Structure 1
Amino acid sequence: MASENISLPMDCAMVDILYASKNDGSRQLYSFSWRANAAYELFVVQSVDLVITPMMDGPRGQHTPELSWPRDLRSRLELGNGKSIPNIRAFLDEALQEDHTPPSIGVKLIIPTVNGYVAQSNIIEERLHGCPYVGSAVGFLQPGELVKNFSLPAPRPNQDKGVSIPQLYSLLIAAIGGIKSTISGSESPWEVLGSLENEFKNRLGLQFLLPEPIPRRRVGLVRCKDDRMSNELLLYLNIDLVIFDAPGHFMEDPHGHSAHLRASFHAIDLNPDDGFVQRLYLAARDLHLDGIITRFDPLLEKVAQVAELLQLPSAAPSAFAVATNKYLARMALPEDDQLQDQVRCVKTKYDLEQPLRITYPVVVKPTQGRSSFGVVKVMDESELLEAVDRAASFIVGCGGEINIHPDVMIEPYVDGPEVDINIAMWDGEVLFFDVSDNAPTAADLHKEGESGRKDFQEGLFMYPSHLPDSEQTLVCQYIQDCILRMGFRTGTFHCEARVRGSSMRYVRQNGSGIIDLEKNPAATGIQPSIFLIEINCRPPGYFGLYATTWNYGVDLWGLHFLCCINDESRFRALSVPFLNGAQHHSAVLLVMPEKGGILRSEDPGARLRREKPELAACVPLYRNFFEIGQRVTSPEEVETSFTAIVVVESKGERSDLIRVVEELKVEWTPVIE
């Protein structure tokens, strides 16, 4: 590396220092230049721009100072899985050892401006995911620790180096996080750090250092999925995870790959029968829990009953009973009488009145279930009877030797763009919401007289929604009213709805299979209204969860847990989205097999990283649910499965996102024999 001729801003301090790498012990002379950025109102942190430039002529005599480090540098939480623990020295070591063009590196140090307790110790990494100009970002924080404020001295140009060196040491030791910028050959590191300051203001304007201590809490999670980032998050929130799940679960083995993420494991029969509440209560009563929770819909009401028995925070079980039953939820809504009169609930097709007084098309769905399995649009009586049979065959649980089946709801089919809505609410106040577009399903695209599938199985969600802000606000207000009517005041909710009379409609683009929202001329003069599909009183699934987290900076999984321990201060603090709204266009692609059989194709993600790295870079998260040689369930079965779920991100326009999604659809199409 060689030195550069870089013009320094007027308000910079600078000093030449020998830096010894901890990794290989090498000593190199560097020029360290830094400047403090403005302190913003209501921020708990301030940034300092640091530019480090290697000097080509080596050490300058015996009096050149060497950067020395204290033993007790702050470092981030150790997860216990073999990862190194980054501190400011490790962060700089890694940054300086990379190849750079130009050789100078630009670093933004994050300095606390208040005394406060850490609400979430990985907040810097999480909020800076996918950020422009960022090569890497890391926080040096422990969950719940007390951080002391640091008063930044005003740098003075050409000040005495004897003054500058202690100032530099103090800055490095006080930093609670570091951001290494990306610099192209034509850019000045100061210019890049200046642009990055705009993102600092956009992303870190939340109160993640709180005035009151954050004690360690113990929360019971009933039914735990192997979702690594969600399970790790609880450690960052100073929460010990107590797992209740079936024997043989991956968390049961104390030496398993994720055992370090839980405090204890308790085997329990998860069948949602009449004895479940007593089983869970007996398993949990002596564990000194501060909260108990689940994201598994069939158990939400029963876990709330156990929370009541344990005198732990929870919404009323009666509210969960309504929300998890699609028929009871429909009857609780402020719909017009004409629509309510067309809704029916039956156990089997034999409960339907004769003759059938039904106006087609209608939607048939299990009143309890998962995803959109068993939900279909039917056009006539023969399809109706078949669909009711199929929906009623869904198994919710087992009562002794008898399977527990859901009731079946029949309701009118309502047209209009479908959206998913996430809401975080405390005491009736909506603190955060986002809206995403649910692309048309086979049922939506089906025309009368056509053959083929008529199910509502989702295939693609796009963030943020392309609907106008007025319609998104209307959706949020309507959903908030529905949630309150069901008896909830606080929590995280994942909801689905349609916008009737929307100003937008889905149109197939000429010459391609791409379908997207465009202006709807037929809606001119029509007042849009909202038709609720369902309210899930929990966060979205893992992949939709992180699509929202990375787009807006709000992690609904963490809020779900903070709600169950009644931690209002952290719930409010961590519900603050990015100042500028959604940071990019993203999507969740769900890959459903066209047939059942044996999977013959390899992991598409691994292949793309080898053959198409630019396309692979658009996929920050994915999961394949089958491996080569395994049998893939047929989409015709009542309980089927996706072959993969893929999160896609694009820094371009929505059209660019759709183009990438279409390419990934081809890449992720499984070979099944």
Structure 2
Amino acid sequence: MAVGILPSQVNGWPPRCAFDSDTDSTYPPFHTPPSPLSAVNGPSSLSRPFFWEIVPLCDLYSIVHIILLPSSLRLSYNQLPLRPGSNISGVNGANGQQPHSEPPSRFMDALTNLGLGPSNWAHAGVSVFTAILPSTDGYIARSDFLRLRLQDFPFPISKIQECIAAPKKYTSCRLSSSSANSEDGLASLIEQAAGVIQWGDLEASVSILDLQHYLLGLTHELRDRLNNAPWLTSHPVARKRLALIRGRPNLTAGGPIYRAARALGLDLVIIDDEGHWLQPNTDDNRLHREAFIATDMTEDAGVTDRIISAITRYPLPIHGVFTLSDNFFVTAARVAEALGLPTSPVSAFETSVDKYRSRLLQDAPGHTARVTSVDELNTLLSTPANGTNPAFTPVYPLIVKPTKGWSSECVSKVSCRDDLALAVQKATSRHGSAAVVEPFFDGPEIDANFVLLDGEVLFWEVADEPPCQADRRDATVQDTFSPEALTLPSALPDREQAVVRDTLRDLLVKVGFRTGVFHVEARVVRSGCEYRDVGGGVVDLAPKTESGAAAAGGGGDKAACKLIEINARPPGYRVSVPSRHTYGVDFFAAHMLAAVGDHERLRLAARSFDHAACEGRTRGAQYWSRLVYVPVPKAGVVRWASGLPPCEELKRRRPDLADKIVVAVDYCVPGERVRLYTDGARTYAAHFLVCSRVSRRDAIEVGDEVLKAFKIEVEEGDEGGCKGA
């Protein structure tokens, strides 16, 4: 009975492949064991022929591909002579008696111990496994490292098994072609692996040539994901504890934070009001946090002292403090400063949360104003009695927005003096704050996200936000800046993206932010690109025509980046999703590591994928992605006509789109009343993240089609008591 098979024993092996002598080789060919395993290791209960290759993937990792051929090529398990006492999965004797067997295969046992044993193998297909072996000793940086790096892998995955856990140290093994010259040797490699992947089974009819190309594809993709991403740290990772000021409003918004904390070995203590959903000490809540401390979070002069008191009363040490709630940034910084914990200066947060002060980082006097009422606006606009120019001279169009606010709430574009008072009244009514009146910068709007360590840019990205209602030439004060989509990576020219990076990084450091995660919104003026129809009704960034470049003042060589606002936190959970999936960077993990001062793991968390740049796609992006916001069609009561959540209903109805949908989230439930607008911004019914490995245009077209295909029933009715999503 054969227990192994060499490539040379398979009919037609070796095929003529891309790495034959007359072509270049990207990866080495299969390592061929010197002789059949059956000749080396004697009989075994493993009935499926198999072969393998050991590949030095990169400096950080080696991998072992293991291929189990269909059992039809050898005796099936039911035909094996088994001895009593065998516990091989899937073998049953007559009348409940186990037949005789050979001793269990150590190779099979190694896979079984990982939950990847014979019960998971396709009887008539080809099963493929890959073991990942780091090249150095160390301690795991996060427990779900492999799952994070393999998300949206272009080849189907059946299971991912991560084999090392904190605080255990991983010890690397020396690999050579003789490491697996026996079944026991191959089993040892599996047992020493940091992770093992079982790929989706292949058809039994797959040719050797196709199998070879498949393995080369796996290897290439694994290299792009692991080449620059260490799994291990050089020092043991001490378990630490973080206080989260203001737990998230629900699990949808909070899930990415809680999962990242768990993977990093960070225990969360939630500080929030009595009655928060995380307060009950249930099994589910204990999965997300270590403890909940009920605290009066009223935003008054005493809130900082109350939070400090809550933390100091906690019986276990707290190593860091953070928040994701914009109106608590300054408070959290004051708490951290008082307790001697890592933080940026309080003054930096005071500037970032005040849109008037942050606007002045780039503005000249007289271009921006801060007013608390329409009366103050009128006074500011009036000519002083001595005949000098007014302190503020508006140049239309203008932007009016609350000095403190978020999600484009109550932000207006003003094109004439008559609408200015209405816009100021709308802005000052929100959050009880003053209004900032500032220039409107005409140019592509972008989101720029940074991970900084002591002023060094560890990771940065630019995403394009297509025009919204208020970007139209004929927009009125009633139109909103609510986002409609977001496209990654950016289509701006490299030189303009460099201007964005350098300008915004310097502004962050100027304010006082040197370490952490920052979500910055800006516009590129005098860009060489503009949004226009690029054919077939697709609207996207494209190089300006000569007339457009002339109107913009010369085009991209004179491009400048104009700040809209600084958010000293990761982008919101919706906007963080595209970055995590497109680049493999978890902003919430980086944010928490900065909060506890874990700089070694912060560097590791900021490592993007290593896919090569191609056809306008930024290096590190595994595909083009499009985040699509779905607004509610009208005010009223939500119904699910099909009985299914609308996102799920769409995927079932349109399987052609489902394959390209990465994430889909519904916001509304049956019976919920919704408004068309919430606090001056559009109310959303759902969002989707779609992807394309073909082109940016394809990603946009898929997103547009998803938006058209989405169906949600809203029965018209009185808006009284409605709530927005």
TM-score with structure 2 setting the length: 0.81
Pairing 1:40–2:58 present? yes
What is the alpha-carbon distance in structure 2 between the residues aligned to residue 380 and residue 638 of structure 1? Answer: 20
Structure 1 residue aligned with 2:599: 568
Structure 1 residue aligned with 2:411: 375
Structure 2 residue aligned with 1:126: 148
Pick the aligned partner of 1:386 from 402, 422, 437. Answer: 422
User: Structure 1 pair 384/321, CA: closer, same or farther in 2 (3 Å)?
Assistant: same
Deviation, 1:656, is 1.2
Structure 2 residue aligned with 1:169: 187
Residue segments in structure 1 that go unaligned for 5+ positions in a row: 18-26, 74-85, 396-404
Deviation, 1:5, is 4.8
Amino acid at match of 1:600: R
Deviation, 1:65, is 5.1
SS of the residue corresponding to residue 701 of structure 2 reads: helix
Amino acid at match of 2:639: R
Pick the aligned partner of 1:275 from 297, 302, 311. Answer: 302
Judge conservation of contact 1:633–1:641 (CA < 8 Å) in 2.
yes
Structure 1 residue aligned with 2:462: 435
**RMSD (Å) for aligned C-alpha atoms:** 2.6
Judge conservation of contact 1:122–1:141 (CA < 8 Å) in 2.
no
Judge conservation of contact 2:57–2:223 (CA < 8 Å) in 1.
no
Structure 2 residue aligned with 1:491: 516
User: Structure 1 pair 65/152, CA: closer, same or farther in 2 (3 Å)?
Assistant: farther
User: Structure 1 pair 425/88, CA: closer, same or farther in 2 (3 Å)?
Assistant: farther
Structure 2 residue aligned with 1:583: 622
Judge conservation of contact 1:420–1:494 (CA < 8 Å) in 2.
yes
Judge conservation of contact 1:107–1:193 (CA < 8 Å) in 2.
no
What is the alpha-carbon distance in structure 2 between the residues aligned to residue 375 and residue 70 of structure 1? Answer: 63
Pairing 1:419–2:446 present? yes
Matches within 5 A, 1:481-520: 481-509=506-534, 512=537, 514-520=538-544
User: Structure 1 pair 211/615, CA: closer, same or farther in 2 (3 Å)?
Assistant: same
Judge conservation of contact 1:106–1:193 (CA < 8 Å) in 2.
no
SS of the residue corresponding to residue 377 of structure 1 reads: strand
SS of the residue corresponding to residue 410 of structure 1 reads: strand
Judge conservation of contact 2:481–2:681 (CA < 8 Å) in 1.
no
Pick the aligned partner of 1:229 from 246, 250, 256. Answer: 256
Amino acid at match of 2:330: E
Judge conservation of contact 2:647–2:666 (CA < 8 Å) in 1.
no
What is the alpha-carbon distance in structure 2 between the residues aligned to residue 153 and residue 190 of structure 1? Answer: 21
SS of the residue corresponding to residue 69 of structure 2 reads: strand
Judge conservation of contact 1:466–1:517 (CA < 8 Å) in 2.
yes
SS of the residue corresponding to residue 390 of structure 1 reads: helix
SS of the residue corresponding to residue 91 of structure 1 reads: coil
Judge conservation of contact 1:499–1:528 (CA < 8 Å) in 2.
yes
Judge conservation of contact 2:455–2:514 (CA < 8 Å) in 1.
yes
Amino acid at match of 1:516: D
Deviation, 1:432, is 0.3
Pick the aligned partner of 1:107 from 110, 129, 139. Answer: 129
Structure 1 residue aligned with 2:495: 470
Structure 2 residue aligned with 1:408: 435
Pick the aligned partner of 1:67 from 105, 114, 123. Answer: 105
Structure 1 residue aligned with 2:88: none
Larger CA Rg, structure 1 vs 2: 2
What is the alpha-carbon distance in structure 2 between the residues aligned to residue 636 and residue 37 of structure 1? Answer: 55
User: Structure 1 pair 49/346, CA: closer, same or farther in 2 (3 Å)?
Assistant: same
Amino acid at match of 2:235: E
Deviation, 1:639, is 6.7
What is the alpha-carbon distance in structure 2 between the residues aligned to residue 140 and residue 328 of structure 1? Answer: 50
Pairing 1:592–2:631 present? yes
Pick the aligned partner of 1:214 from 216, 237, 243. Answer: 237
Structure 1 residue aligned with 2:559: 528
Structure 2 residue aligned with 1:401: none
Judge conservation of contact 2:407–2:681 (CA < 8 Å) in 1.
no
Deviation, 1:272, is 2.4
SS of the residue corresponding to residue 677 of structure 2 reads: coil
Judge conservation of contact 1:133–1:192 (CA < 8 Å) in 2.
no
Deviation, 1:382, is 2.5
Structure 2 residue aligned with 1:400: none
- Render the CA deviation track for 1:109-142: whole Å, top value 9, x for unaligned: 1012211010011111111111222424342232
What is the alpha-carbon distance in structure 2 between the residues aligned to residue 621 and residue 31 of structure 1? Answer: 39
Deviation, 1:635, is 1.1
Matches within 5 A, 1:43-442: 43=60, 45-56=61-72, 57-58=75-76, 66-68=104-106, 89-93=114-118, 95-97=120-122, 103-136=125-158, 137-155=160-178, 164-182=182-200, 183=202, 185=206, 188-205=210-227, 206-225=229-248, 226=251, 227-255=254-282, 257-287=284-314, 288-331=317-360, 333-335=361-363, 337=364, 340-352=365-377, 353-355=380-382, 357-395=393-431, 405-442=432-469
- Render the CA deviation track for 1:220-269: whole Å, top value 9, x for unaligned: 11122223233111111011111112222221122253431211111223
Judge conservation of contact 1:31–1:55 (CA < 8 Å) in 2.
yes
Deviation, 1:10, is 5.3
Deviation, 1:623, is 2.2
- Render the CA deviation track for 1:321-349: whole Å, top value 9, x for unaligned: 10111111111x244x3xx4210001111
User: Structure 1 pair 238/6, CA: closer, same or farther in 2 (3 Å)?
Assistant: farther
SS of the residue corresponding to residue 49 of structure 1 reads: strand
What is the alpha-carbon distance in structure 2 between the residues aligned to residue 507 and residue 16 of structure 1? Answer: 66
What is the alpha-carbon distance in structure 2 between the residues aligned to residue 452 and residue 273 of structure 1? Answer: 33
SS of the residue corresponding to residue 141 of structure 1 reads: coil
What is the alpha-carbon distance in structure 2 between the residues aligned to residue 258 and residue 486 of structure 1? Answer: 37
User: Structure 1 pair 16/94, CA: closer, same or farther in 2 (3 Å)?
Assistant: farther
Task: Provide the aligned length of Structure 1 versus Structure 2.
Answer: 623
Residue identity (%): 29
Judge conservation of contact 2:149–2:226 (CA < 8 Å) in 1.
yes
Structure 1 residue aligned with 2:690: 648
User: Structure 1 pair 375/6, CA: closer, same or farther in 2 (3 Å)?
Assistant: farther
User: Structure 1 pair 176/511, CA: closer, same or farther in 2 (3 Å)?
Assistant: closer
Structure 2 residue aligned with 1:11: 31
Pairing 1:603–2:645 present? yes
Structure 1 residue aligned with 2:26: none
What is the alpha-carbon distance in structure 2 between the residues aligned to residue 50 and residue 220 of structure 1? Answer: 45
Deviation, 1:270, is 2.8
Bigger mean CA offset, 377-386 vs 180-189: 180-189
- Render the CA deviation track for 1:78-129: whole Å, top value 9, x for unaligned: xxxxxxxx986313456414x76xx112221101221101001111111111
User: Structure 1 pair 247/51, CA: closer, same or farther in 2 (3 Å)?
Assistant: same
Deviation, 1:354, is 3.9
What is the alpha-carbon distance in structure 2 between the residues aligned to residue 519 and residue 93 of structure 1? Answer: 56
Judge conservation of contact 1:392–1:407 (CA < 8 Å) in 2.
yes
SS of the residue corresponding to residue 643 of structure 1 reads: strand
Judge conservation of contact 2:482–2:681 (CA < 8 Å) in 1.
no
What is the alpha-carbon distance in structure 1 between the residues aligned to residue 113 and residue 520 of structure 2? Answer: 42
Deviation, 1:177, is 1.2
Judge conservation of contact 1:293–1:561 (CA < 8 Å) in 2.
yes
Judge conservation of contact 1:604–1:667 (CA < 8 Å) in 2.
no
Judge conservation of contact 2:129–2:199 (CA < 8 Å) in 1.
yes
Pick the aligned partner of 2:669 from 623, 627, 631. Answer: 627
TM-score with structure 1 setting the length: 0.87
Amino acid at match of 1:66: P
Bigger mean CA offset, 109-118 vs 59-68: 59-68
SS of the residue corresponding to residue 629 of structure 1 reads: coil
SS of the residue corresponding to residue 128 of structure 2 reads: strand
- Render the CA deviation track for 1:307-334: whole Å, top value 9, x for unaligned: 1111111111111110111111111x24
User: Structure 1 pair 93/311, CA: closer, same or farther in 2 (3 Å)?
Assistant: farther
What is the alpha-carbon distance in structure 2 between the residues aligned to residue 246 and residue 575 of structure 1? Answer: 33
Deviation, 1:668, is 2.9
What is the alpha-carbon distance in structure 2 between the residues aligned to residue 164 and residue 174 of structure 1? Answer: 15
